[in-house]
Structure 1
Amino acid sequence: MHRTIKYTSKIFIAAAAGLFIQQSAKAQDTLKEATIDIITNYQPKLRDAAKLNLTASLPATDSSRSKMNYNIPALNLNFMYQPVPLKPLALGKDSLNALQNNFIKVGYGNLSTPLIQAGVGSGRNDQYNLGLFFNYTGSKGDIQYQDYSTMNILGSGTYFAEKFEVDGRVGFNRNRVNYYGYDHTLIDLKEEDVKQVFSEVFAKVGLRNRPADPKGFKINPNVEFIAFKDSYKRQENTFVANIPVSKEIFDDIHVKVSGVFDLSAYKMDGGETINNNVSSVRPAVEITKPSFYLRVGVNPTWTNKETYILPDITNDIHIAEKKLILSSGWVNYINKNNFRNLANMNPFIADYPNTILNTKVQEIYTGIKGTLGSHFNYNTKIGVINYKNMPLFVNDATDPKKFAIRNEASLKATQIHGEIGYIDEEKFQVRLGATYFDYGKQETELKPYGLVPLNANLNIQYTIAKKLQLKADLFAFGGNYYVIQPNDFNKTDGAFDMNLGASYDITKNFGLWFNANNLFNSKYQRWNGYQSYGVNVLGGLMIKF
């Protein structure tokens, strides 16, 4: 950058003075100023800064000890309270209330219905517990011989040792029914012609080890013997042995094996013995995680000269922990159709067939279950079931008041099940459940005779002030098919009815109870020809001690 700088020097001043003098002489001359233009390059520069060199250092350490003088005045305190020396206190007594292990319940109803129940228990004990139970009830209906009675006696106990526990039970059951399902205007029969009494004596004993190591072997063998007979001198002896063993091989992974031997021998007075045996070995692997469960097993089974390989696979997956669980399975098993089991299904059966076959069941299902909040729980399932050799019950052509057993070679059904419940501690409980079977295809018979397609029930229980308990049962089931004549059939009506019950504790040891059954007076027929009782009301006294 270039600048033009104007200076007025001494020369300029001297010249100006001379000219001024001359000008004075010549007033008419013009005064002129002479200037000198000096042109140069301007280069500004900063002056060198004066820098200070500072060196930081710590001050010298003062190791001298300061002398502190304290002056604390003495205080003399006088306490009025003198502490009591510590002494050990005696342990308090057990605060648990005494158990009411014994009770007697008696009552009577409108259908000449007596009821007697009694129970006796040993109470709390570290080494054993014992119990004895007795029950008797019966009724008489409006129809001739529409009578029944039942009596049950059961004794049970458990002995606890350091490394194992032994439990057992013995009992006797007697159930009387009559074959009253016939047209009483056309046939006149005596009581001994329709009387039927089933009785059984049973005994069971089992052993369970108590391993100190949670991952050790767990063994629970048990055996049971049952002697079952009826009024027609038909008798069946059954021996069942079950030997399960389990072991945890890795964390949450168990190996389980059980051997099951179910042996029955049926004999009618003067007839031949019919053996019905089922034996199986059931190995399985179980994986149990907080949000996952899987069981994979296979059950080789032998029954009546038949051999089956039965898969057993079940799985639970927590989609939302405990709230939404996907449950699926492919299970196969054998339903044993011995005389005792069939009589429990239908007490009005006729002769036990010589060529009875056991039922092979295959079930494939899926569904969801879980909990909602802290009170609700639910369970749903849909599946397909295949039955091979399914027993069906039809009215006997020669004696319609009894039921003959027919074998359905193959029967398929679609099952839909749902239930939901609400529990508020012990104060209020409600449960609604229903199961529907769509028997869509059978191979041997025209219809699935005697099988109920729908079962539904609503159960409610409410406790007020821990003294008054109220309960209600609302139930419904669908009608089932029965044979009118060869190649012709009909269907029974469905039923819808209600039961109510209540109990009230007057004192700690005495209470009242009341039951009202079939309030809608629905005289339905579970089995064709056998009408139910209708309204049945009974009540009585409960004593606890």
Structure 2
Amino acid sequence: MFKATMKFSFLTTGLFLFAVAASAQDTTGKKVRITSSFKPVLKEAAKINFNASPAVNDTSRPRLQYNIPDQNLNLAFQPGGLRPLALAVDTGGRWKNESSLKAGVGNYATPFVQLGLSAGDGKNSGVNFYAQHASSKGNIQYQDYSNTNAELNGFFKAGNTEWNARVGGSLDKYKKYGFQPKTMTFPDDSINVKYHTYRARLALRNINRTDLGLSYAPEISIDAFSDGLSNSESNSYINLPLQKTLGNSFEVDVAATANISTYKPHNKSSQTNNWFAISPSILYKTANINIQAGVRPAWDNKEPHLFPNLLAEVVSSDKRFSFQAGWTGYLRNAGFEYQAGINPWIWAPQTVYNSSIEERYAGIKGSVGDHFSYSAKLAFNTIKNQPLFTNDTINGGKSFRVINEPRMNVLNIGGEVGYTVGETFSVISNFQINQYSPKVAAKAWGLLPDEWKTTLRLQVLKDLYVNSELYAFDGTWYQKKGGGYGSLGSAFDLSAGLEFKVYKNIKIWGQFNNMLNQQYQRWNQYPVYGFNFLAGVVLSFGQIK
């Protein structure tokens, strides 16, 4: 009975649910459509644009600043000589890898020949041969001059070492035409002067510092000098410098230097004239400060000296201005060769000495803009054993006697200004003012008190260069025959030259000296040549293979 009751209940329930579903149906016949407005869309991925636009061209012209430092102040006191015709050898820089022949003629019966030959690659090895000859005959009796010299230079690099060698010689001929009165006569051996010089030099240096920070540059040079009258002198110079760096700012320098000289006067015994020096010092270097502090003990023919060696330079941050100061001393061989290089008309000295020079100086140098440069210095020097030159009045004044001044103070004021525009135009003017105070001599016989030199170089056309030089000086003091002294007065010497390229390896040149035609005297009773000129051709050709 229980089972019948359960079946009935399920049946009743099913009928009820069916009736409910039937009553819920829409009997109107309409249909409802539901539409969604959302559509899922995948966002486009970002991509790299490989077609970038080119950079804008920079049409502005860059302005490049080049800071070329000026040369150091010329501190050493070197009295200059003046030849009747100045045709000096230009040894300012290393030889060029080029050969040339320069020849010309001029008035005063002046032939001029100059030959330069080179061989080597110019980087690892090279040899340069140079030879020159010039002579003149002036309007005054015996006003003759001749110079012939030849020199062979070479260098060779082996690893970190560079060797340099030089050998050469020269022959200078003069005649002592400065006697008064001109009616005097002399034998030829009393008039003719012939200076023979043979020289050799050997040096080496390391190109880069060693692993220990060492730099070395030893050298030795030997000169043999004679006057053709049995007066001769040999000079050997040895220099052994060594530097070592200590960090980035400090350096230790040590140099051992010697000059060994033997002088042999005619019919007299030989004289030794040697000096030795050791120069230890410490250097401090930064971008704006350079300081060198040291001493220089030296021995002049066994006589001891102790020189200071203090140098300082302070440079501005833009490198356009610097201040220099120093106190230093050294020895110099002032023997027969040195004296004849200043005054060729001297008698051979009876005794030779070494000069002791002590310098105290302060100066400035700098530049303004891109083209203008300047420098100035004030120095107070003390020179011991300085040669002076006076006329020998007994023989008409044609020869000069050499007087040794034991001590002389020199107040020096010097300066230089320059304006340069590349290789197109340059003008440089410098002056030297010296006030001599000898202790024994009445005057500084034969030494120039004031000098002024101005040089100009101008490129007129592409292949036409013009140069000019004005040299002026205040004359030296000289002793008169009857006693007393006089001054030679001032002098102005204007010269000019030109060089013009007419073909790829041919140039024509000309040189005009003493254009003002002044009959001035550098040495008493020795007037120089008047207006004189030279002209010729230069042939350039390739190096020797």
TM-score by length of 2: 0.80
Q: 1:403 aligns with which of 388, 400, 403?
A: 400
Aligned mates of 2:117, 2:472 — CA distance in 1: 36
Contact 1:199–1:229 under 8 Å retained in 2: yes
1:443 and 2:442 matched: no
Which residue does 1:30 correspond to in 2? none
Which residue does 1:364 correspond to in 2? 360
Amino acid at match of 2:509: W
Aligned mates of 2:371, 2:101 — CA distance in 1: 34
Which residue does 2:231 correspond to in 1? 234
Amino acid at match of 1:427: T
SS class of match (1:521): coil
1:540 and 2:536 matched: yes
Aligned mates of 2:445, 2:204 — CA distance in 1: 42
Structure 1 residue 485: deviation in Å? Answer: 4.0
Aligned mates of 2:389, 2:382 — CA distance in 1: 18
Aligned mates of 1:70, 1:516 — CA distance in 2: 88
SS class of match (1:342): helix
Which residue does 2:206 correspond to in 1? 209
Structure 1 residue 214: deviation in Å? Answer: 7.6
The CA RMSD measured in Å over matched residues stands at 1.9
Structure 1 residue 222: deviation in Å? Answer: 0.9
Amino acid at match of 2:471: F
Aligned mates of 1:167, 1:69 — CA distance in 2: 80
1:531 and 2:531 matched: no
Aligned mates of 2:136, 2:44 — CA distance in 1: 102
The runs of at least 4 aligned residues of structure 1 exceeding 6 Å deviation read: none
Aligned mates of 2:122, 2:410 — CA distance in 1: 50
Contact 1:215–1:249 under 8 Å retained in 2: no
Structure (1 or 2) with the larger CA radius of gyration = 1
Structure 1 residue 316: deviation in Å? Answer: 1.0
Contact 1:145–1:191 under 8 Å retained in 2: no
Question: Where do 1:246-257 residues align within 5 Å?
Answer: 246-257=243-254
Question: Where do 1:33-52 residues align within 5 Å?
Answer: none
Which residue does 1:507 correspond to in 2? 503
Contact 2:390–2:445 under 8 Å retained in 1: yes
1:483 and 2:479 matched: yes
Aligned mates of 2:409, 2:174 — CA distance in 1: 33
1:68 and 2:64 matched: no
Structure 1's 324 and 125: CA in aligned 2 closer, same or farther, altered over 3 A? closer
1:376 and 2:372 matched: yes
Aligned mates of 1:188, 1:120 — CA distance in 2: 45
Amino acid at match of 1:532: V
Structure 1 residue 69: deviation in Å? Answer: 8.8
Aligned mates of 2:182, 2:536 — CA distance in 1: 37
Aligned mates of 2:385, 2:190 — CA distance in 1: 32
Percentage identity across aligned positions? Answer: 29
Which residue does 1:150 correspond to in 2? 147
Structure 1 residue 190: deviation in Å? Answer: 4.5
Aligned mates of 2:209, 2:298 — CA distance in 1: 34
Structure 1 residue 487: deviation in Å? Answer: 5.2
Structure 1 residue 302: deviation in Å? Answer: 0.5
Aligned mates of 2:43, 2:287 — CA distance in 1: 69
Structure 1's 325 and 348: CA in aligned 2 closer, same or farther, altered over 3 A? same
Q: 1:497 aligns with which of 493, 497, 513?
A: 493
Contact 2:336–2:348 under 8 Å retained in 1: no
Contact 2:265–2:348 under 8 Å retained in 1: no
Which residue does 1:77 correspond to in 2? none
Amino acid at match of 1:175: D
Aligned length: 451
Structure 1 residue 484: deviation in Å? Answer: 1.0
1:130 and 2:127 matched: yes
Which residue does 2:242 correspond to in 1? 245
Amino acid at match of 1:498: L
1:281 and 2:272 matched: no
Contact 1:216–1:247 under 8 Å retained in 2: yes
Which residue does 1:339 correspond to in 2? 336
Amino acid at match of 1:326: F
Structure 1 residue 270: deviation in Å? Answer: 3.5
Contact 1:164–1:210 under 8 Å retained in 2: yes
Contact 1:222–1:241 under 8 Å retained in 2: yes
- CA distances 1:128-147 after superposition (whole Å, capped 9, x unpaired): 11110010001110111100
Structure 1 residue 276: deviation in Å? Answer: 0.5
Aligned mates of 1:126, 1:450 — CA distance in 2: 45
Which residue does 2:169 correspond to in 1? 172
Aligned mates of 1:70, 1:530 — CA distance in 2: 103
Amino acid at match of 1:490: G
Amino acid at match of 2:522: R
SS class of match (1:398): helix
Q: 1:425 aligns with which of 416, 422, 427?
A: 422
Contact 1:446–1:487 under 8 Å retained in 2: no
Aligned mates of 1:128, 1:161 — CA distance in 2: 9
Contact 1:101–1:123 under 8 Å retained in 2: no
- CA distances 1:247-275 after superposition (whole Å, capped 9, x unpaired): 11121321111111100111134320111
Structure 1 residue 100: deviation in Å? Answer: 6.2
Identify the range of structure 1 (530-539 vs 481-490) with the bigger mean alpha-carbon deviation: 481-490
Structure with bigger RCO (C-alpha 8 Å, 6+ apart): 2
Identify the range of structure 1 (455-464 vs 477-486) with the bigger mean alpha-carbon deviation: 477-486
Aligned mates of 1:375, 1:150 — CA distance in 2: 38
Aligned mates of 2:43, 2:304 — CA distance in 1: 103
Which residue does 1:390 correspond to in 2? 386
Which residue does 2:18 correspond to in 1? none
Aligned mates of 2:261, 2:403 — CA distance in 1: 20
Aligned mates of 1:296, 1:529 — CA distance in 2: 47
- CA distances 1:39-74 after superposition (whole Å, capped 9, x unpaired): xxxxxxxxxxxxxxxxxxxxxxxxxxx773989xxx
Which residue does 1:188 correspond to in 2? 185
Aligned mates of 2:532, 2:449 — CA distance in 1: 26
- CA distances 1:401-449 after superposition (whole Å, capped 9, x unpaired): 111111222211211101011111111111010000012x322111111
Contact 2:511–2:533 under 8 Å retained in 1: yes
1:109 and 2:106 matched: yes
Structure 1's 189 and 387: CA in aligned 2 closer, same or farther, altered over 3 A? same
Contact 2:313–2:323 under 8 Å retained in 1: yes
Which residue does 1:315 correspond to in 2? 312
1:472 and 2:468 matched: yes
Q: Unmatched 5+ residue regions in structure 1?
A: 1-65, 72-98
Aligned mates of 1:419, 1:69 — CA distance in 2: 79
SS class of match (2:190): helix
Amino acid at match of 1:270: N
Which residue does 1:224 correspond to in 2? 221
Aligned mates of 1:486, 1:295 — CA distance in 2: 52
Structure 1 residue 515: deviation in Å? Answer: 0.5
Which residue does 2:9 correspond to in 1? none
Structure 1's 186 and 216: CA in aligned 2 closer, same or farther, altered over 3 A? same
Structure 1 residue 476: deviation in Å? Answer: 0.3
SS class of match (2:268): coil
Aligned mates of 2:419, 2:210 — CA distance in 1: 38
Structure 1 residue 213: deviation in Å? Answer: 4.9
Question: Where do 1:50-89 residues align within 5 Å?
Answer: 68=42
Structure 1 residue 217: deviation in Å? Answer: 0.7
Structure 1 residue 215: deviation in Å? Answer: 6.4
Aligned mates of 1:392, 1:219 — CA distance in 2: 37
Structure 1's 523 and 214: CA in aligned 2 closer, same or farther, altered over 3 A? farther
Structure 1 residue 149: deviation in Å? Answer: 0.5
- CA distances 1:369-425 after superposition (whole Å, capped 9, x unpaired): 111112111110012112222211111243321111112222112111010111111
Structure 1's 236 and 212: CA in aligned 2 closer, same or farther, altered over 3 A? closer
Q: Unmatched 5+ residue regions in structure 2?
A: 1-39, 46-95
